[in-house]
Amino acid sequence: MKLYKGLISGALILLGLTSRAQTVIPDSIPDHTPQHFDACLDSLVNLWYVNGSATDLVLDSLPTHDTSPVGKLPDSVYIQRIADINSPIPYTYNDKVKAYIELYTLKRRDQMQTMLGLSEYYFPMFEEELDAKNIPLELKYLPIIESALNPRAFSRAGASGLWQFMYYTGKQYGLDINSYIDERRDPYKSTVAAADFLNDLYAIYHDWFLVIAAYNCGPGNVNKAIRRSGGQRDFWKIYYHLPRETRGYVPAFIAATYAFTYAREHNLYAAPNQLPVMTDTILINKPLHFEQIASMLGVKVSYLRDLNPQYRRDVVPSQKVSYPLRLAFDHATSFAASEDTIYAHQRAKYFTEGKLVAKPVYSTYTPDKPKNKATVYYTVKSGDAIGLIADWYDVRTSDLRYWNNISRNLIKVGQKLVVYVPKNKVSHYSKINTLSYAEKQRMNGKTVASSSVTKKTKPVKEDPNYLYYTVRKGDNLWSIAKKYNGVSNSDIMQLNNMSNASRISPGQKLKIKPRS
């Protein structure tokens, strides 16, 4: 058994899991704090099926309830209610947990009601798999803080899906990821993988709070925190030795459990959504385009995307391997009755010899224009970054990414970005596109030294006691840290006197001290 644990622990650490669970968040806000969650929930719950793309599914009206906020409650009430949660997980209450409870029950009530509605579709799936592996069913709340139940959530570190798997972790746990399919976004298969991952972590720690922390920041960081605390194996005793982004993770989990368990006590009710109550799965044994299915079943392509978010290009890429297609129960019945006809429908338009004829359509979303806002455009210039552009237009980084379908902050020179601004300030924001970098910075009260514009940066004098890493395009502190043994993003920030993890640029040299 000891050998088994050692193999699991070693494999997980080698996978570089220290960066696996960063949700889609504004760069300027510290990770996993109540302020962080407050800023990112809008982006995470802005789902295509909430915005109304699958209109062929009938929406029931929200039941008439008193939905006014209950307000802040005495600590004694929170303490008693948490104590009454019947679970093998040792739920606790403190000021950190309270801050997240108030976020869910007071500040973000609309998002909570949206997630309560989505949970009616996803939670039975989670519970079935957790129960099969004898894992506490309360771990179904992990995707609340990972992805806000958005199967297309994609983090700046590269984590994807409801359970926010990194690429190599997903592959390790049997998830298929290629140009046509990303099973990290498959609600069922990713849940199976997450349950296996949680089981493996429990075999190491035998403590569910440590498992939850390791799920977020990786076993390497949790093991380091245990060593630094003198061997303590209690989350709250190693709290200050954990990475900053993980400290709020367990309190957020406790608060999510509380908020869902006592939603009605806070006048929170499930908002209606367009996901069907009953679904069935059809195995597809040859390539099939969503448009073929939509045309023959009389549904929208967006409806197929909603139920099958794992398919990246609106194609079920079955050839040697069969892939599942999830449909509402009545549509699955219709498909089974007309399967051959659906395969044959306009086949030459989409496939020849089993391969796509036309350029595939990527399954993306079209963000809605915010109400009472005007549209302006900005053309990306050399040296620009998402954070800078958001700062110039006084918008959130997460909104700018959402409006322009940007992942991992990747933009290119010449790219035209849409920005929504107040109608009474259109002239002010329109001129930003014509200003120089220095003028844009001065507009926000920041100065740019002339030497930084006209001269090359002096080379860094390297200390032989450290390694140095030259930042490449697309890098971030999470991806850099996992290249080195025992190094976390916070270690890099401390060594290089950095206060903002997003402020790195290609060509910059970072001081690194790996653990021997």
Catalytic residues: 146
Q: What's the token pair of residue 461? A: 């004098």
d(CA 388, CA 417): 13
d(CA 330, CA 233): 51
Instruction: Reduce the DSSP state of residue 431 to 3 states and report it.
Output: helix
Concatenated DSSP letters of 20-53: TT--S--TTS-TTSHHHHHHHHHHHH--HHHHT-
Q: Which of 351, 360, 408 is nearest to 385 (CA)?
A: 408
Cβ pair 295, 346 in contact under 8 A: yes
Q: SS3 helix, strand, coil % of the chain, rounded to 5?
A: 50, 10, 40
How many other C-beta atoms can be found within 10 angstroms of the C-beta atom of residue 56? 15
Buried-exposed string 430-440: b where 16+ CB fall within 10 A, e elsewhere: eebbeeebeeb
Cβ pair 157, 476 in contact under 8 A: yes
Find residue 417's DSSP bridge partners: 378
Q: What are phi and psi of 503, to 5 degrees?
A: -90, 65
d(CA 88, CA 93): 16
d(CA 40, CA 26): 7
- Looking at the chain, the number of H-run helices and the number of E-run strands are 25, 10
